Structure 1
Amino acid sequence: MLRKGFCSKTKTVSAYYVVRFKSSSTQDEYQFLQRSKVPTMHFQPSLPRLPIPELSKTAERYLNAQRPLLSAADFSKTEEIVKSFVGPNGAGPKLHQQLVDHDKKNKHTSYITKPWFDMYLSDRVPLPINYNPILVYIRDPNEAYNRQVIRAANMLISSVRFMKSLRAGILEPEVYHLNPKKSDNDTFRTVTGLLPSMVSWYGAYLFKAFPLDMSQFPSLFNANRIPEIGKDVLFQDTSAKHILVLRKGEFYVFDVLDSEGNIFPPEVILANLQKVISMSDEHPPTPEYPVGVLTTMERDSWAKARKRLKAISPQNETALKLVDSALFALILDDKSCSGHIPLVQNFLHGDGTNRWFDKSFSLIIDKDGETAINFEHSWGDGVAVLRYFNDIFKDSTTKPRVHPDMQTNETPEVTQLDFLLDQEMKGIISDAKCQYDSITNQLKIDIMEFPGFGKKICKKHKVSPDAVMQLGFQVAFHKQTGKQVATYESCSTSAFRHGRTETIRPCTMATKAFSESINSNNPPSISELQAMIRKCSEVHGALTRDAAMGQGFDRHLFGLRKFAEVHPEYSKELPQIYRDPAYSAINHNVLSTSTLSSPYVQAGAFGPVVKDGYGIGYLIADDMLGTIVSSYPPHRDGADFVNCLRKSFEDIYNVLVK
């Protein structure tokens, strides 16, 4: 059975709130976070399609990325393999034509969409650390609003306001303004809003503004990744009106929307959250068999366990449906995290007992009001998550609906979800917990902040801040190991319809030359080193522009490989380019890096993508460079890398400012 926190006549209570709250003059303003002049999806039909690069350009870019990683002899071998692949009798032209033909038949999407979804959903590794990243909020500027239940209530209300605005089509479209002073204004919105959707993108382009793909935004809410053998599925039920709350490993749900789709008043939201806390306080700090730990498992194992869980009782199946369909997971941790590293560890993985990693995203708030988003990555990328992240911070801090002194006498309607477990299921949960503890205990987090060096100095010396940051990673790894390795930097291709990401390859001949020079016992002159930094910046800038315009090589080669895997001629033995050790090596990304820029981001982090790698989340402020480095000792020494990174930035800074 489902356990109720408070038994009453739900229909009567809901009707009372609808009538009472509709009488407020601010009701409509409360229901929606924005009322955009331009409909949310106005630009979507006219977005340009993600281009398929020319095969010869892909070959050239691939070889340029391989050059700093290979010896002269190995590069010569790889060069011959690539020439054979793209030659008139090679596999490349045939596979490329298949990809182009397929793309022409599917103009509603991009060539990367399906294989990219398949890649994510078919991978069997556990989601936490391996895939789910985090974004950590700065604190509410008004400290009184950082009380856990107050911040949770305000962020929950702002989230539902965001969701309702999105679904009503009145959330401001996501647009990149090249010159915000000239385009981020009412004139732009009036002109582009009057244009038909099929040509609206071109109108925005005349303002030097670039609308971004918003196809991922609807997947933020009421969504869940469900494990299945071999390949997971993404589930969504937009009719559900409830939120999932986890506290002390127990599951609770309550409606945040009434029968007419209106958000319940702030007093009701607060009362329900207070009820969750009081109900969970009646339980031990941690359940003996925390069901949420199951989402930390290898995906096939979790698929079997979930099937077993449903078979035990219809009650479990009902509970899982409520978990799957909830707007998102709101997680209230009953502990404080002292220090930056414990904070990152808790938000990135925790102990698994108070998590459900399969939800599209979880909003996690600890006892001190520290808050983060942990999101499942298959459905979408940083653009959608960061927009939600920014909007609800601004809304919850500038228009808080719940206040520290708010009193409520409302009748809460909270349902606790009980899972019935047999001995086999208890054993599965216990084993999963031991396995997860083993993995998380291996992961090391190291943090570096480098004050006094940031965007201001980089721009003063006319070099790209991102290029300088990436150069620091290259110099640090060379300082630590004397080598260059495959490096991944994520770049959004959301300027195109159904774009996902492309890879920037920051390890270049320019960064290799600078790393070897600055780390040598006899470095060149300061003026020569400055010229080398400028060269690194130019090369990195070109790579970034190419990637953002869909002109990298990684996604193209990935798409060609997918066609080769089902091609009669190549399915048994893939073309040699994919069997070349150099191809495996460049896709073994020892340095995996990513950043999302926002004034509301305190930190961003993710796990290494390979066992002997570093996961590097970084921030570039006006006067500070910051990184969070994850690693698995003894495969890599994160503390030593951070020390090398600090020395690298000292070296780069001293070169630039002299």
Structure 2
Amino acid sequence: MATLRSSALRILRTAAAAAAPTRSTTQFLTRLAGAAKTRTKTTSTMAADAIKPWPTKMVESHGDYREEEWLEELDHTTNTTYQNQSTLPKLPVPSIEDTLKRFLPTALPLAESKDEEEALKHAVARFPAQAQKLQERLLEKASDPSNENSSWLQHWWNTMGYLQVRDSVVINVSYYFHFADDKTVNVNSNSNTTSTMQIRRGASILYAAGQYRNMVASGALPPETLGRKKTPLCMTAYKYMFHACRIPHLEQDSYRIYDPSVYKHAVVACKGRFYKIPLIDETTGNVLSVLTLESHLQNIMELAGGHETSGPGFGYLTGDNRDVWATARTALLEIPGMEEALEVLQSGCVMLNLDTVSEFDSGKSPVSRAQCGKQFLYGSGSASNRWFDKSVQLVVCPNGKAGLLGEHSMMDGMPVVGLANHIVNTSYQQAVEESEEATGALETYGGVSDIFRDIPLTSRVEEMIETSKGNFKVWTRDRHELDVQSFRGYGSDFMKKAGCSPDAYTQMAMQVATSRLFGKQAGTYEATQTRVFRHGRTETTRTVSPESSAFVKSLLEPSDGLTANDKVDLLRGACQAHSKYIGGAAKGLGVDRHFFGMSLLVEDGEAVPDLYSDPVFVRSKRWRVSTSNLTHPKLENWGYGEVVPDGVGLSYSVHKNHLVFGITALKERGEWPEKLSQYLEDALVEMQLLVEDAANDEGAMPKRSKL
């Protein structure tokens, strides 16, 4: 049992780390785009009492969404955000037979011999009888009255997949968004210095985040829906977007969310120091004007610049092993005044990180997508200006490049896409005009304060920080590489003309590219959200299938007997199979969560089903290729880390006329990101030529794109 449980946890960890923004991004962004076109100034103002106080100033969650479910029922003035929660269905438990039927085709292509194929089939045949008791226990758990309005999976997933994992959250859990540039930061500026650009961009981003915070906190944010039928989605995770922070403990972390009617500040990090800044007007409930926020940020830069050295380096502690950080935090709490200071930081709406040139690898502001990706994901090896436990951090570089860093434990990426969408669609110029009309002249509400000022550190804490600093640099700068492939040959328009789903077509290109990299197909994960269910998060879409295997072989093991038409037929068949699997996974009918749930219910002394130790089964659940799709016109790129040491993280965006891939891997693997970038381009070009050759034969060739 111990071995099975350990194996299950490793599998869950890789799956959880891979779960970022998901397949329904396109439908979600279509809704957001419509909202943006009719965007009004209602987000600039709100009733002062729209956000009702909680019975307690803080709620601490231990990975169970039911612990804070009552927050959805508060008497908001315009409570629409959670209005669909009670109508959402429960996550189903598939039948064993259906799960095995879906599983076997995804695993057989990964068998490395006929003997492995036969052994897998025999293990599958024995599984129904061997796992019957486990299935009964899982059904019993799902029907337990305590899960009446919840998911049988969510507590296991949140704790074992995230809060109990002891590795650093950096790269393993966190993900980043790279925002498009804001051209208006230099409009009507008397100074085009980098500091002016950084302050203006930071102020407008903070203003937009404050607006979105008000909508979420008041319950005024419309609930998400999916597709033409507008199927409601679970909104539980939105409670973890603002005023939220992960808290380290030995063995298992917790998450704290703070009452937005009490806490109305943000936190700004600059040169390794952390400052409290007023964000919400205490009287009106409105976000402070952009000009006021600019004034505060200018003040912070002057205060931080007055120090000869950077701050104490707390950020390095937050980026270390979770037990190491928990031990260090206990030591911090022994220092007088530290507990109150930590609460100020933890309760802030969001954290704005004003990075400085000295923190970059090159000594210059990042320019390329890859440079920005490294800066946003792991500070290019510097953590002095980060607090990796904060749910949302907004990073702004001196040249105005900006992005978001998300902590993934209790909230997947899709809800954060809504926040990012609001930020990138609120330009500096627009934010200034809106906020001036809403608030009038420059306000002087409060000021900024250095959160940890006059709190001396003990020598023990200083030693801990130095140790964590060394660990962080080794884990990030020394061991990790990140590259970005921006393919300009074609995009989703061409893929649709080829008769393929753009997402599935891109997945097949990635199968070809990664098979070239590894010399064979490997277990591939695409995150698919299951938020049509209450407290649903994600399920695995398995890209490997007999159809995808046949297509990959047609390109990598060419046969004289296959024409371009034959290969395009294989491509379309692979895309159809992939789309069908996604449809089932989104309905809670994948295989990986089901296998995981049953594995946890093996009792001491019981025999473990043979399938769990089958080498092909294990190989099929080892995600050497972790993929996720997020496409937004104003996101330059996004990404996350690989989830196994000999794997790659592969985020992607499929635009009408181009594609962008974010690629991560360990440096010790030998320039994998650079190689995979080239293989992706090769695969996409090769597939384009196939489609065009086949269309020529049919007399209807799509228009060739310029490469």
| TM-score, reference length from structure 2 | 0.80
CA 1:583–1:284 in 2, change beyond 3 Å: closer, same or farther?
Answer: farther
2:302 match: 278
Instruction: Report how far residue 500 of structure 1 moved.
Output: 0.3
Give the Å deviation of 1:80. Answer: 1.8
1:579-637 per-position Cα deviation (integer Å, ceiling 9, x unaligned): 33333322221111112122221101111101111011111010112211111133252
Give the corresponding residue for 2:653.
619
Aligned letter for 2:588?
G
**Secondary structure, counterpart of 1:594 in structure 2:** strand
Please list every run of 5 or more consecutive structure 1 residues that lacks an aligned counterpart in the other structure: 1-25, 179-207
The one of 604, 609, 612 aligned to 1:578: 612
| TM alignment of 1:367-516, pairs within 5 A | 367-396=398-427, 399-401=430-432, 408=442, 410=444, 413-418=447-452, 419-440=455-476, 441-516=478-553
- Alignment-derived partner of residue 224 in structure 1: 245
CA drift at 1:143: 4.5
Give the aligned partner of residue 256 of structure 1.
279
Q: CA deviation at 1:257?
A: 2.5
Q: Which residue number in structure 1 is paired with residue 313 of structure 2?
A: 290
1:364 partner SS: strand
Conserved 8 A contact 2:276-2:451: yes
Amino acid at match of 2:610: Q
Matched letter for residue 84 of structure 1: R
Bigger drift between 427-436 and 35-44 goes to 35-44
Distance of aligned partners of 1:283 and 1:169 in 2 relative to their CA distance in 1, 3 Å threshold: same
- Per the TM alignment, residue 492 of structure 1 is displaced from its structure 2 partner at its CA by 0.7
Q: Does 1:69 align with 2:110?
A: yes
* Structure 2 counterpart of 1:236, from 257, 264, 269: 257
Deviations 1:515-547 (A, max 9, x none): 111122545210101111111111111011111
Question: Which residue, out of 78, 99, 105, partners 1:58?
Answer: 99
Partners of 1:48 and 1:244 in 2: how far apart? 38
CA contact 1:254–1:414 (8 Å) conserved in 2? yes
**2 CA distance for matches of 1:50 and 1:28?**
36
Aligned to 2:203: 153
Letter of the aligned partner of 1:282 in structure 2? Answer: G
After superposition, give the CA deviation of every residue in 1:323-379 in whole Å (9 maximum; x if it has no partner).
Answer: 111112111112321322211101010111110000111111111121111111111
* Matched residue SS, 2:669: coil
Tell me what 1:549 maps to.
587
1:642 aligned partner: 677
- Using the TM superposition, give the Cα deviation of residue 577 of structure 1 relative to its aligned residue in structure 2, in angstroms: 2.6
| Equivalent runs, 1:512-523 vs 2, <5 Å | 512-522=549-559
Q: What is the CA deviation profile of residues 206-232 of structure 1, one whole-angstrom value per residue up to 9, with x for unaligned ones?
A: xx2212111111110111111101010
CA apart distance, 1:407: 9.0
Counterparts in 2 of 1:539 and 1:117: CA distance versus 1, 3 Å: same
Q: Which residue of 2 aligns with 1:117?
A: 158
Secondary structure of the corresponding residue to residue 314 of structure 1 = coil
Q: Secondary structure at the match of 1:466?
A: helix
C-alpha displacement at 1:175, in angstroms?
1.5
3-state SS of 1:243 partner:
strand
1:244 counterpart SS class: strand
Q: Indicate the residue corresponding to 1:11 in structure 2.
A: none
Deviates more, 1:400-409 or 1:151-160: 400-409
1:634 aligned partner, one-letter code? E
Amino acid at match of 2:370: I
CA 1:51–1:403 in 2, change beyond 3 Å: closer, same or farther?
Answer: closer
Alpha carbons 1:115, 1:562 under 8 Å: kept = no
Q: SS where residue 539 of structure 2 aligns? A: strand
Instruction: Name the structure 1 match of 2:28.
Output: none
Structure 2 residue aligned with 1:608, among 642, 645, 651?
Answer: 642
Instruction: Tell me if structure 1 keeps the 8 A contact 2:524–2:625.
Output: yes
Once the 2 structures are TM-superposed, how far is the Cα of residue 284 of structure 1 from its aligned partner? 3.6
Q: Which residue of 1 aligns with 2:126?
A: 84
Between 1:393-402 and 1:487-496, the stretch displaced more is: 393-402
Shift of the alpha carbon at 1:393? 2.4
Partner of 2:688: 653
What amino acid does structure 2 have at the position aligned with 1:342?
Answer: Q
Give the letter aligned to residue 231 of structure 2: F
- After superposition, the C-alpha distances for 1:60-81 in whole angstroms (9 at most, x for unaligned) are 2221211111132112212222
The number of equivalent residue pairs is: 595
Task: Name the CA shift for 1:296/1:66 in 2 (closer, same or farther; >3 Å).
Answer: same
Name the counterpart of 2:328.
Answer: 305
Distance 1:281 1:411, change over 3 A: farther
The 2-side partners of 1:420 and 1:227 are apart by 22
Q: Secondary structure at the match of 2:573?
A: helix
Distance (Å, rounded) in 2 between the aligned partners of 1:254 and 1:345: 27
3-state SS of the aligned residue for 2:633? coil
| 1:259 Cα deviation from its structure 2 partner | 3.7
Query: What is the Cα deviation at residue 121 of structure 1?
Result: 0.4
Q: Does the CA contact (< 8 Å) of 1:244 and 1:254 recur in 2? A: yes
For residue 357 of structure 1, the aligned residue among 365, 369, 388 is: 388
State the distance in 2 between where 1:547 and 1:166 align: 28
The CA distance in 2 between the partners of 1:225 and 1:304, in whole Å, is: 15
Match of 1:198 in 2: none
Change (3 A) 1:411 1:467: closer
Would you say the 8 A contact 1:315–1:420 is kept in 2? Answer: no
Match of 2:83? 42
Match of 2:45 among 19, 28, 31: 31
TM-score (norm 1): 0.86
The CA deviation string for residues 484-526 of structure 1, in whole angstroms up to 9 with x for no partner, is 1111111111122111001111111111111111122545210
Q: CA RMSD in A?
A: 2.5
Structure 1 counterpart of 2:175, from 133, 138, 163: 133
Query: Whole-Å Cα distance in 1 between the matches of residues 309 and 367 of structure 2?
Result: 19
- What is the CA-CA distance between 1:398 and the residue it aligns to? 7.5
Which amino acid letter does the alignment assign opposite residue 349 of structure 1? Answer: Y
Whole-angstrom CA distance in 1 between matches of 2:601 and 2:257: 29
